[in-house]
A and B are shown apart, each in its own frame.
Chain A
């Protein structure tokens, strides 16, 4: 099994690892300690103290609150609430539903027709980062991208208890 240094993984995460090395990494067996090592890297970079249980995206994490709650949190500190509910419902949304709004993103004729499909941009209310984009027909329910089973993951797959408040 390959092993990678923390430095290598930091470079990987930051897109700084040369592709020749990334390619070797992709073609090799996976390093089982990766989850823990990446978690440590993420934890060392966020400006808040809560323990990260699971990274959800470039800026979002599921964290353990002092009262034992597990919430979705942006690296800016904004909290979206219980991870079992769709974090997008507590975000800001901007819907590109006119030709003019879509033309800011795509050239003429190369974006969706807003009558058939709109572009929904979900922003963090804290730092205004664009966290997700949906391309859906008007009237489509907000997509709940991912609801992880954290307990099964830690207990059955990692073989360790889910971190709790001490």
Chain B
């Protein structure tokens, strides 16, 4: 930005001498007035020369994917290098995403928020935006999910004019928070608890990171080597994108490029609306979800030492003109925990899920964002009215919060006849294993294990779900190599294998989860968290299918593992069915945690201690009594299903052969299914009768404290939701929970 003193006029770095703020304001005004991106009525370039238009897109997309695939090799972190927890995107000068790479594309819109923040705060004047500058951001309240996801942004200049921005993001191993790990919790607030936060700062000049920033980062986190290499990963990728864009501009001409990026976003918006009409059914869809926060007896901060529950009352409205409105009206209040979520990550989650369902193609950009609307009640966990909330593990609420959107879309896909697209939701991506302390090299360190990338998927309407392969936040789930995790974590893998009974039951079952049994190795000072759902199940279930299982905690401290190994005695390689726990049967320990408390603060572990990390299975679809007997038999013999549940859930009468293989007695099983159907008729109560009984229970408030607390909070925050609750149960107007 420069000033002509004789005229008193400000010349910006934007197009035709405008400031970025002027460009952003114009863009927003045109959208407000016309409902179209930059007011574009016709996509002239696309219409005049569609081949050229597509070629330009392919060049940009290719440049972004190439940047990602090349840059990740700079990183030393398995989270980035093996699991691909990074992505890159290209933006307009105003910060609207034009195109993106593969990877954790949840961040495409969060980076957009960060660019707009810089523009609104007039970074053009101070600290200035110049060629070669590098900006960093990991502030969720500005534009991010949580501070573990670190952005790098660089401006792309051409002949003195800002053409746009390149942005990249990676997930870090540790963020220097009060407690170790990238998503640790237990602190009451963002400051000082959440650790190293870079709120959209200039961190480099002349295409290099500032030494002062590097030193500061080094001093601020527990795994500085990984942090700094990831910084270089993102910067290298951004520079590659800049070079690709400049090459393209020189070949195609700058005016064509400018026209293209406007049209690409408007095309994205129009495509989304058309896709909604092509795939969905207009109407209203309800799909709430819940997850517990059982912190009453956990040694977390005193403000959060209570049991509470998260309420995500997701409601999707698909309008007659293709409007896509997602509302969380009724969400309960934010808390002094780290699971709060700013609006930016809510948009990111919506975005990443749409790209895996409604718009699963490479031509996705902020046009889709412009075609959707999110209602996030102010003061709730998804739009806190307190700037200092902790957000290190926003995902704990965000993941279950959105699972209902998949079920809602699937109802529409099914009604529309596109049954191959149906999915019964997804599970939470847990157990999240993280921690730190003195590692196996004798140095203070921290880690976050990303096996969470590999949960079971929801069942489809035409087949079973897939096992241990997916996370809602990364379309390219990968559990990573055991050896890579053992290198950065002072815990050996005693085993990693399928976990029985994790998949949600149904005509089509969900994909199964897995478990890893870890043994602390070469350290007596390791602090580990358990994080996930234990008292609740998540991920729903569709058309009569059940949700996948909950998780549980099974950890053993002060074990006799050293003795078992020394004497070559059997030791566990997993836990299997907890009713016949392998760990309990083979190992003795001074302290055993074997319960449903699956979300805990960290505990201290010593060498030879055992830690079970169990990943979840996906939800099922359809009445389990309609599952093919051959499929039940296969699940039994693959170790996915316990014999007891084959009978009680699927009505299968089974016999085990001498070879150990299970066989279903079809005739006896058909009779048993008839018997179960008869029982259903006997035990089922007309809903309206049951409601009368349930109403009395509510009036007596015969519900545990954390659930009442959740209802009370939602009713206080939203008169609309309070009215809905009171109307449904026919409660007095003044009814409120104590």
B687 and A90 form a contact (CB under 8 A): yes
* Residue with the highest number of chain B CB atoms closer than 10 Å, among A57, A139, A145, A153: A139
- Report the number of A-B residue pairs with Cβ-Cβ less than 8 Å: 251
Q: How many residues of B contact A (CB 8 A)?
A: 95
**A54 surroundings in chain B (CB, below 8 A):** 281, 415
B281 and A105 form a contact (CB under 8 A): no
A46 adjacent to chain B (CB < 8 Å): no
**Docked complex Cα distance between A148 and B502 (Å):** 33
B379 adjacent to chain A (CB < 8 Å): no
Question: Which residue of A15, A129, A139 contacts B508 across the interface (Cβ within 8 Å)?
Answer: A15
B535 and A135 form a contact (CB under 8 A): no
B544 and A37 form a contact (CB under 8 A): no
Q: A12-B420, A25-B420 are in contact. Are A135 and B725 (CB under 8 A)?
A: no
Q: A13-B419, A112-B537 are in contact. Are A137 and B710 (CB under 8 A)?
A: yes
> Smallest Cβ distance from A61 to chain B, in angstroms?
10
B257 adjacent to chain A (CB < 8 Å): no
* Residue with the highest number of chain A CB atoms closer than 10 Å, among B595, B684, B729: B684
**A59 surroundings in chain B (CB, below 8 A):** 543
**A90 surroundings in chain B (CB, below 8 A):** 686-688
Q: A89-B687, A146-B285, A148-B282 are in contact. Are A22 and B420 (CB under 8 A)?
A: yes
A88 adjacent to chain B (CB < 8 Å): yes
**A92 surroundings in chain B (CB, below 8 A):** 680-681, 684-687
A145 and B411 form a contact (CB under 8 A): yes
Q: A26-B420, A58-B507, A153-B281 are in contact. Are A117 and B290 (CB under 8 A)?
A: yes
> Smallest Cβ distance from B405 to chain A, in angstroms?
13
Question: Which residue of A19, A105, A130 contacts B544 across the interface (Cβ within 8 Å)?
Answer: A130
**B707 surroundings in chain A (CB, below 8 A):** 115-116, 137-139
B278 adjacent to chain A (CB < 8 Å): yes
For window 6-36 of A, CB contacts with B under 8 Å fall at: 9, 12-13, 15, 17, 19, 22, 25-26, 30, 32, 34-35
Interface string of A57-99 (1 = CB under 8 A from B): 1110000000000000000000000000000111111110000
Question: Which residue of B408, B544, B687, B711 contacts A139 across the interface (Cβ within 8 Å)?
Answer: B711
A133 adjacent to chain B (CB < 8 Å): yes
The chain A residue sitting closest to B617, CB to CB, is A110
The chain B residue sitting closest to A15, CB to CB, is B462
Interface string of A114-142 (1 = CB under 8 A from B): 01110101110101111111011111111
A55 and B578 form a contact (CB under 8 A): no
**A34 surroundings in chain B (CB, below 8 A):** 416-418
B560 adjacent to chain A (CB < 8 Å): no
**A122 surroundings in chain B (CB, below 8 A):** 544, 687
Question: Which residue of B288, B292, B683, B690 contacts A140 across the interface (Cβ within 8 Å)?
Answer: B288
**Docked complex Cα distance between A123 and B685 (Å):** 9
**Docked complex Cα distance between A12 and B419 (Å):** 8
**B711 surroundings in chain A (CB, below 8 A):** 139
> Smallest Cβ distance from B178 to chain A, in angstroms?
28
> Smallest Cβ distance from A87 to chain B, in angstroms?
10
**A88 surroundings in chain B (CB, below 8 A):** 687
A104 adjacent to chain B (CB < 8 Å): yes
A104 and B283 form a contact (CB under 8 A): no
**Docked complex Cα distance between A114 and B279 (Å):** 37
A89 and B688 form a contact (CB under 8 A): yes
The chain B residue sitting closest to A27, CB to CB, is B360
**Docked complex Cα distance between A146 and B281 (Å):** 10
**A104 surroundings in chain B (CB, below 8 A):** 648-649
A128 and B416 form a contact (CB under 8 A): no
**B686 surroundings in chain A (CB, below 8 A):** 90-93, 125
**A165 surroundings in chain B (CB, below 8 A):** none
For window 607-632 of B, CB contacts with A under 8 Å fall at: 622-626
> Smallest Cβ distance from B397 to chain A, in angstroms?
15
**B649 surroundings in chain A (CB, below 8 A):** 104-105
B421 adjacent to chain A (CB < 8 Å): yes
Q: How many residues of A contact B (CB 8 A)?
A: 74
B462 and A17 form a contact (CB under 8 A): yes
B522 adjacent to chain A (CB < 8 Å): no
A162 adjacent to chain B (CB < 8 Å): no
**B677 surroundings in chain A (CB, below 8 A):** 127-129
> Smallest Cβ distance from B317 to chain A, in angstroms?
9
B698 adjacent to chain A (CB < 8 Å): yes
> Smallest Cβ distance from A36 to chain B, in angstroms?
8
The chain A residue sitting closest to B575, CB to CB, is A109
> Smallest Cβ distance from A99 to chain B, in angstroms?
11
A107 adjacent to chain B (CB < 8 Å): yes
**B501 surroundings in chain A (CB, below 8 A):** 106-107, 110
> Smallest Cβ distance from B549 to chain A, in angstroms?
4
* Residue with the highest number of chain A CB atoms closer than 10 Å, among B309, B508, B542, B623: B623
For window 628-676 of B, CB contacts with A under 8 Å fall at: 642, 644-645, 648-649
Interface string of B405-429 (1 = CB under 8 A from A): 0011001101111111100000000
The chain B residue sitting closest to A9, CB to CB, is B417
Interface string of B468-485 (1 = CB under 8 A from A): 000000000000000000
**A136 surroundings in chain B (CB, below 8 A):** 288, 290
B549 and A58 form a contact (CB under 8 A): no
**Docked complex Cα distance between A139 and B700 (Å):** 11
The chain B residue sitting closest to A132, CB to CB, is B544
**Docked complex Cα distance between A90 and B419 (Å):** 26
Question: Which residue of B463, B648, B680, B729 contacts A123 across the interface (Cβ within 8 Å)?
Answer: B680
**B414 surroundings in chain A (CB, below 8 A):** 55, 57
> Smallest Cβ distance from A30 to chain B, in angstroms?
6
The chain B residue sitting closest to A104, CB to CB, is B648
For window 526-583 of B, CB contacts with A under 8 Å fall at: 534-538, 540-547, 549-552, 577-579
A131 and B544 form a contact (CB under 8 A): yes
**Docked complex Cα distance between A7 and B398 (Å):** 41
B505 adjacent to chain A (CB < 8 Å): yes
**B415 surroundings in chain A (CB, below 8 A):** 54-56, 146, 148
A130 and B625 form a contact (CB under 8 A): yes
B535 and A112 form a contact (CB under 8 A): yes
Question: What are 21 residue pairs bridging A and B, where the CB atoms are less than 8 Å apart in the complex?
Answer: A13-B419, A15-B463, A15-B508, A25-B420, A32-B278, A92-B685, A94-B685, A107-B549, A107-B578, A107-B642, A109-B596, A111-B549, A117-B535, A128-B684, A129-B544, A131-B544, A133-B547, A136-B288, A146-B283, A146-B412, A148-B283
For the complex with contacts A55-B414, A59-B543, A121-B680, 10 further pairs of A-B residues with Cβ separation under 8 Å are A38-B419, A92-B684, A92-B686, A106-B549, A106-B550, A117-B536, A129-B623, A135-B536, A142-B728, A152-B282
Chain B positions within 8 Å of A, measured between CB atoms, are 277-279, 281-288, 290, 292, 309, 320-321, 407-408, 411-412, 414-421, 461-463, 500-502, 505, 507-508, 534-538, 540-547, 549-552, 577-579, 594-596, 622-626, 642, 644-645, 648-649, 677-678, 680-681, 683-688, 690-691, 694, 697-698, 703-704, 706-707, 710-711, 724-725, 728-729
Chain A positions within 8 Å of B, measured between CB atoms, are 9, 12-13, 15, 17, 19, 22, 25-26, 30, 32, 34-35, 37-39, 54-59, 88-95, 104-113, 115-117, 119, 121-123, 125, 127-133, 135-149, 152-153, 156-157
Per CB-CB distance, the 5 closest pairs between chain A and chain B, nearest first, are: A92-B684, A38-B417, A152-B320, A148-B283, A141-B728
